[in-house]
Amino acid sequence: MRLVAEFTTEPFDVNGSPPAHATEALRAAQEAGLECDFGPLGTQVRGEEDLLLPALPEVLRAAFAGGASQVTLQVRRDA
């Protein structure tokens, strides 16, 4: 089963380059082999359940290590 996860990392800062919590979370998802779309309000990642679910703790860890104060995560089936 394919899943899509979307996450928004905070604080939301629009000045300058993307904050480390966003780029680090993206990097963790890429390293896990997920298809990633780094959007303006959040990052969307897709992949097989077996690939995606185990990657999520790493993504969250990377976001907090990068300075995130809060992460909102949504996971759903890839329609």
Partner 1 sequence: MPEPEVHPLVAAITPLIERLNAELVAPGDARDDDLTLVWDSEPVVAVRLPAKEAGRAAGGKPPEGGVSTLLAEVADELGGPLNTLSRSQKQQAVLLLEARGVFEFRKSAEIVAEALGVTRFTVYNYLNRAR
Q: Which residues bind partner 1 (CB under 8 A)?
A: 6-8, 10-12, 14, 18, 38-42, 44, 69-70, 72, 74, 76
Alpha helices (H) in the chain, listed in sequence order = 20-31, 49-65
Distances (CA, A) of 18 to 22, 38, 43, 70: 7, 10, 12, 16
If the CB atoms of residues 7 and 62 are measured against partner 1, the closer one turns out to be: 7
Q: Give me the least distance between CB of 41 and partner 1, in Å please.
A: 4
If the CB atoms of residues 1 and 41 are measured against partner 1, the closer one turns out to be: 41
